[in-house]
Amino acid sequence: MSDQTILDEIAEAPADHYRILKISDLDGDKLLELSKFMHLSLSKEDMLAVQEIYKGWDREPTDVELEVIAQTWSEHCKHRIFGADIEHEIDGEKESVKSLFKTYIYDVSHQIFDSKPGFVLSAFHDNAGFIKLDEEQAICLKAETHNHPSAIEPYAGANTGLGGVIRDILGAGKGAKPIGSLDVFCFGSPDTSMDNIKADDVLHPLGIMRGVVRGVRDYGNRMGIPTISGAIQFDDSYIYNPLVYCGTAGVIPIKDIDKKVEAGMKIIAVGGRTGRDGLHGATFSSAALDTESHESDQQAVQIGNPIEEKKAADFVLAARDKQLIGSITDCGAGGFSSACGEMLEECGGTIILDNIPLKEPGLVSWEVFISESQERMVLAVAESDLPALQELADLYETEMTILGDADGSGILKVTHHGETVCQLDCSKLHDAPVRQLKAKWEKKTKVIEAPVLSNPGATLKELLSDFAIVSREPIIREYDHEVQGNTVLKPLAGAAGDAPQDAAVMRINGSDRLMSMSVAILPEWGKTDPYAMGAACVDECMRQLVASGADPDRIAILDNFCVGNPEAEEELGALVETVKGIADAAVAYGAPFVSGKDSFYNYFETEEGPVSIPVTILISGMGIVEESAHVTGASLRRDDSLIAIIGHTSAELGGSVFARQTGLNDAEVPGTNLEEAMKMYRQYYRAIQEGLILSAHDVSEGGLAVTLAEAAFSGKAGLEIDLCSLPMDDEASKAAMLFGESPSRIVVEVAPENLEKLAALFEGLPFACLGRAEADHSNLNIVWGKETLMNEPIDELKSLWKNGLAQYY
């Protein structure tokens, strides 16, 4: 009787399509066995709580109901760890955190909302948060991860990752129009040896990279949404768990932000059909990967069909413009169960599963209800508008189905083949047991002696060839970053059209204002100083937006976390410290979080034990650019201009690409002087408004020397730079001056006649003119007084930088 399963013991099947599960008499261990067997990803405590709820109702659950609860309570949907009670210990000091989300994200952001009335128009409760663009329109941004699917099936995983976040935007408000996407990846190094992969069936990072890029390309390009912003990190810790972040921005008329489901409305679905693809995506992403996942979980990865989504998008935007939408949401994790559950959460209503068009016959009730088949949207609409909606569906050739109706009962009722297969009071399901977790972090860095540079020019060349810095051009060119015709500041620009930029800027139809978008991710910092990583990520995102011309007082950001094992105290401790870092920076910059997401269990059971990713935070941001004249690129524009730096260079080398190359793994990581930085950004913005800045490039990976080289990659001129007047710590080494990555610094190009005005704006703040653009040669010449530090032909530097990734992609 070895194939006797827990289900056989407790299930009763009143019909072929659903079962009643007798859980009331099971003990904790048996409940856990059931959870595992059904892939519910619910803990023993969760299952006991479910049992308790049903005891209160004096009945047994159906399998559909258990699946719905598992989706609702999944880490993916409910963010249980961000809501947990955490006993945290930092350098021996104990503290307790009641909900990271509430304490450091929600409350912090609401404090900022209050200080900027009318700026944030919606946050946290909808698919994406909106900020005001002008009197008529609002913009939004949402980012998601699709890590586990991308590890197993990179093309399809990334494809549907982008497809999913685009639907988030279509389902934000009464339907926002997607106008630009971002993608950020963390992979193992492209030159990883197969011998270093210590588990079967794990794909080589190069295979993952190629698949992921093509997946993003084929979805974004076909949808006609420009992919304009991104980043890639390469580190061995991502070999088993690659990270794939996809984000999309949208625009909406302000009047269409508020949505409402009312009793009597019809619930309809548009888009693709429902099949067995994508079962258990939400619960699958709430568990760790192992070799077996690669075999057994393939049905959790869906197949994307961007044209299906494009048709649905055309339908949604046309329906919104005709005022035919009461409410809308996307089918993401949890499929119809999440979408309908969310939509009917307050109002209640009935969903008739028989109405749902299927890809194949024979799906049982729970499969229909939780399938994560792609390209589906759920809407609540007035019954009288159904003919007009059907006409639009016919016009754009998308399938529209009436699923059921909202009835004001407060109960989510699901019927199939004439029987009620689910009847839940969703308001009773909100209180998933609060998890109790322990976290711990100890300082890991120390003051080190900076290495003496024997040949700084050679070091610069090594940095420019490092995977962390090399040009992403081969990938960027695979994405259509100009469709919709609004990309003003492109990801590659400058006189030769191939130099890196800090942010991307798009025009918005119908407005004089523009939107700037950028991303920041610094996982190397977090390995030793997660708090510093958090603050520096917010700073870098903010700085890139400001550098490109955005108003520093009209910026909103997103936090997207990826974490290994939250039950490991140190990993959770790193998370707590990171969250504190981003929260402090957000407050200092007045840049609220308007949306965020977290992904846990990014660890893998290898032959040599579990391998976790480092706690990784992606901060992505959107900023308002007042007019197109303010848009500022990062490439040198003239051969007679002056080069200045804004910001202070500190002595610490930790977290830098230089430190990693030199093996300084525990060097102190630079902190961020948040108050001073905000003052500088505001002054910089005044300089932008006064037209004083020709170009500006933020100092990030590779430090000042790399920044200067990248600015010069426009090919307009050589550079003569003297670091004597660089504002810095007294003890800063040459290595720190050239290659340190202390935050809050921007290199600016200014016309000689404007230098004085610019310097006056930065009085009392770290600012210095470092040198000039040079028409007579095309070298990067950096001196320290009389000592030449490097004098390298820019062409040579550029070719190293340009070809570093091209040979692998």
Considering only the stretches 42-50, 214-222, 416-424, 751-759, report the one whose residues sit in contact with other proteins under the rule CB under 8 A.
214-222
Q: How far is the CB of 378 from other proteins (least distance, A)?
A: 21
Q: Which of 482, 640, 756, 795 binds other proteins (CB under 8 A)?
A: 482
Contact by Cβ (8 Å): 529, 669: yes
Catalytic residue among 79, 88, 146, 697: 146
CA distance 386 to 405: 12
CA end-to-end span of the chain, whole Å? 53
The binding track of 579-618 with respect to other proteins, each residue x by CB under 8 A or -, is ----------------------------------------
Q: How far apart are CA 733 and CA 704, in angstroms?
A: 13
Least CB distance to other proteins at residue 311 (A): 5
List 80, 88, 146, 217, residue binding other proteins (CB under 8 A)? 217
The one segment of 89-97, 121-129, 219-227, 760-768 that binds other proteins by CB under 8 A: 219-227
Q: Which is nearer to other proteins, 114 or 391 (CB)?
A: 391
Binding residue for other proteins (CB under 8 A) from 7, 257, 382, 483?
483
Give least dist CB 493 to other proteins, A: 5
Q: How many residues bind other proteins (CB under 8 A)?
A: 42
Q: Which of 14, 207, 224, 357 binds other proteins (CB under 8 A)?
A: 224
633: contact with other proteins by CB under 8 A: yes
- Does position 490 interact with other proteins (CB under 8 A)? The reply is yes
Q: Least separation, in Å, of the C-beta of 631 and other proteins?
A: 7
Q: Is 764 exposed, middle or buried (0-12, 13-18, 19+ CB in 10 A)?
A: exposed
Strands 327-330 vs 137-145: parallel, antiparallel or unpaired: unpaired
Instruction: State the nearest-atom distance from the C-beta of 484 to other proteins, in Å.
Output: 6
* Binding range to other proteins, per CB under 8 A, among 478-486, 550-558, 600-608, 786-794: 478-486
Judged by CB under 8 A, the chain residues 338 through 397 that form the site for other proteins are 394-397
CA–CA dist 186, 163 (Å, integer): 19
What HEC string does 206-239 produce?
Answer: HHHHHHHHHHHHHHHHHHCCCEEEEEEEECHHHC
> Which one of 484, 650, 656, 778 is in contact with other proteins (CB under 8 A)?
484
Per-residue tokens: 781: 């010449």
Task: In whole angstroms, give the CA distance from residue 64 to residue 20.
Answer: 9
d(CA 584, CA 594): 16
Beta bridge partners of 643: 749, 771
In the list 479, 739, 762, 767, the residue contacting other proteins (rule: CB under 8 A) is 479
Stretch that binds other proteins, among 257-265, 477-485, 551-559, 563-571 (CB under 8 A): 477-485
Nearer to other proteins, 435 or 490 (CB): 490
Angstrom CA distances, 284 to 151, 298, 605, stand at 13, 10, 15
- Work out which of 319, 347, 492, 521 binds other proteins, going by CB under 8 A: 492
- Which of 19, 638 has the CB closer to other proteins? 638
Interface mask toward other proteins for 286-325; x: CB under 8 A: -------------------xxx--xx--x-----------
Per CB under 8 A, which region of 6-14, 444-452, 479-487, 726-734 contacts other proteins? 479-487
Annotated catalytic, 146? Answer: yes
Site for other proteins in 66-95 (CB under 8 A): none
Shortest reach from residue 483's CB to other proteins, in Å: 6
Beta carbon of residue 211, minimum distance to other proteins (angstroms, whole number): 15
Pick the closer one to other proteins by CB: 395 or 458. 395
Backbone angles phi, psi at 346, to 5 degrees: -95, -45
Quick one: 478 or 796, whose CB is closer to other proteins?
478
Cβ-proximal residues to 599 (8 Å cutoff; 6+ apart), any chain: 145, 147, 243, 285, 560, 561, 562, 563
Q: Hey, how many other C-beta atoms are within 10 angstroms of the C-beta on 150? A: 30
Residue with tokens 């902190």: 671
Listed residue (208, 201, 205) closest to 192, CA to CA: 205
Q: Find the part of the chain contacting other proteins (CB under 8 A) among 10-18, 19-27, 218-226, 558-566.
A: 218-226
SS3 of the chain: helix, strand, coil, percent, to 5: 35, 25, 35
Pick between residue 203 and residue 504 the one whose CB is nearest to other proteins: 504
Query: DSSP per residue over 613-678, as a string?
Result: PPPEEEEEEEEEES-GGG---SS---SS-EEEEESPBPS--TTSHHHHHHT-TTBPPPP--HHHHH
Return phi, psi of residue 558, to 5°.
-120, 145
Comparing CB distances to other proteins, the nearer of 486 and 511 is 486
CA-nearest of 464, 498, 517 to 631 is 517
Q: Which of 19, 148, 481, 630 binds other proteins (CB under 8 A)?
A: 481
Relative orientation angle of helices 530-547 and 569-589, to the nearest 10 degrees: 30
In terms of Cα–Cα distance, which of 74, 173, 82, 79 is closest to 128? 173
Q: Which two tokens stand for residue 48?
A: 């006991």
Stretch that binds other proteins, among 233-241, 461-469, 628-636, 643-651 (CB under 8 A): 628-636
416 is catalytic: no
Q: Which stretch binds other proteins (CB under 8 A): 27-35, 102-110, 382-390, 481-489?
A: 481-489
Q: Is the dihedral of CA 566, 571, 577, 581 positive or negative?
A: negative
Answer whether 645's CB lies under 8 Å from 767's CB.
yes
Nearest 5°: phi and psi at 495? -60, -30
Between 671 and 715, name the residue whose CB sits nearer to other proteins: 715
Which residue stretch of 276-284, 372-380, 490-498, 773-781 sits at the interface with other proteins (rule: CB under 8 A)?
A: 490-498
CB of 177 to other proteins, least distance (A): 10
Cβ proximity to other proteins: between 317 and 789 the closer is 317
Structure tokens at 57: 């109702």
Q: How far is the CB of 713 from other proteins (least distance, A)?
A: 13
Residue 690 CB, shortest distance to other proteins, in Å, is 17
Query: Cβ(557)–Cβ(542) under 8 Å?
Result: yes
Which residue in 627, 801, 621 sits closest to 229, CA to CA?
621
Binding mask 493-532 for other proteins (x = CB under 8 A): xxxxx-----------x-----------------------
478 binds other proteins (CB under 8 A): yes
For other proteins, give the closer residue by CB, 616 or 641.
Answer: 641
Judged by beta carbon, residue 549 or residue 703, the one nearer other proteins is 549
CB of 478 to other proteins, least distance (A): 5
Write the DSSP symbol of residue 88.
E
Give the residue with the Cβ less far from other proteins, 417 or 477.
Answer: 477
Query: Coil, strand or helix: which one is 188?
Result: coil
Closest CB 806 distance from other proteins, rounded Å:
11
Kindly provide the residue ranges of all beta strands, DSSP E only, lying in 48-192, ordered along the sequence.
85-90, 93-98, 120-122, 129-132, 137-145, 177-187
The identity of residue 672, as a single letter, is T
Question: Judged by CB under 8 A, does residue 223 bind other proteins?
Answer: yes
Residues 651-710 within binding reach of other proteins (CB under 8 A): none
Q: Which amino acid is at 180?
A: G
**Residue 51 or 695: which CB sits closer to other proteins?**
695
Could you list the active site residues?
A: 76, 146
Binding site for other proteins (CB under 8 A): 217, 221-224, 305-307, 310-311, 314, 394-397, 476-488, 490, 492-497, 509, 628, 631, 633, 637-638, 714
